[in-house]
Chain A
Amino acid sequence: MNPDPELDDLKRAIDGSVSRMATKEVIVRAERIRSFCEIIGETNPVYFDLTEARRAGFERIPLPASYLLTLLTPLSHEFFTTGIGHLFGSLLRGIVHTSSVIEFLNPLYCDTPYGLKLECTELARKSGKMGEYLVGTFPHKVFDAQSRLMVIDRHVFFLRTT
């Protein structure tokens, strides 16, 4: 692999920015899940009726697996604006989410505090029919109040720079 000092510098700068991003504290309220379910057409009452949730064996209303990517959205938004926006300025012409690998290690519940944290583990250059890209792997992690890892989503983004 050819040396790419500019890319190495950028990776270090991203790592620095990411390390300065505080863990984002979130509590998802049942009303928000109800709204989400309306948007995606989810009708299973387990996701918005505590009695039904308990009947199904849950102590609280569970977050649907469908909601996970949405739960992590504020993390990506912060990352691409205040997190690393200053590193690219006007050079960043588009952000495309190309893949995700999600591991659901423990169930998530409404009305429960969680911490969201983002990392950057890989960064590479790539070119394609639509121009030059940076390809980055950005694990998004969800922790509970005891710092147990609940979910990890390894997002891959194409950052279009030309």
Chain B
Amino acid sequence: MTRSVPFDEIREQAEIPPLEIDFSSQRNQDYCEFVDEINPLHFDQDYARSLGYEDIVVAGIFTASLFPKVITDWLGIRAHIERMQVKFEAPAYLNEKVTYKGRVTKKAIEEGVKRLECEVWSENANGQRLALAAITLRFFEAE
């Protein structure tokens, strides 16, 4: 559930609470059905291996969907995501537990607008980074 961290208490380089997600077969199947997935890379093991991957690759749009959640779990909806840049670096495979971690890279008030820039990344159980996101947040006026 959402914690309430006031803007004034946030410091640059502060760590964002991590989020762990198990991309289990069931969760992946649920998502593939939800989006009517057509790319066999995300549900056909033989196809994935024919392309040189170790196993079924969890869709990037699925794994990247958790980046905003890392932020909203931390700050709630008081912070609006203005921009998110995601770069996928390595595949997230089926049944991997992926941990999302992050830190605040910049805090600023410009013309009365409160903004945070955060770096959030995902990594597998071996500590290999899978994707990196740069996220810019704007706090609501009422904050």
A residues lining the B interface (CB < 8 Å): 35-36, 39-44, 46, 56-57, 62, 64-70, 72-74, 77, 80-81, 93-104, 107, 130, 160
Contact B1 A43 (CB under 8 A): yes
Q: Which chain B residue has the least Cβ–Cβ distance from A106?
A: B80
Chain B residues lying within 8 Å of A97, measured Cβ to Cβ, are: 59-61, 88
Question: Chain A interface mostly helix, strand, loop or mixed?
Answer: mixed
Contact A77 B36 (CB under 8 A): yes
Chain B residues lying within 8 Å of A102, measured Cβ to Cβ, are: 83-86
Contact B88 A65 (CB under 8 A): no
Chain B residues lying within 8 Å of A103, measured Cβ to Cβ, are: 82-83
B residues lining the A interface (CB < 8 Å): 1-2, 21, 27, 30-31, 34-36, 38-39, 41, 51-52, 59-62, 64-69, 71-72, 76-77, 80-88, 140, 142
Chain B residues lying within 8 Å of A35, measured Cβ to Cβ, are: 34
Extra inter-chain contacts (6) besides given A73-B61, A95-B41, A97-B59, CB under 8 Å: A62-B77, A65-B84, A68-B68, A73-B35, A74-B35, A99-B86
* Assembly CA distance A72 to B27 (angstroms): 20
Known: A39-B30, A43-B1, A107-B80. A130 touches B38 (CB 8 A): no
Chain B residues lying within 8 Å of A67, measured Cβ to Cβ, are: 65
Chain A residues lying within 8 Å of B69, measured Cβ to Cβ, are: 40-42, 64, 66
* Assembly CA distance A47 to B35 (angstroms): 19
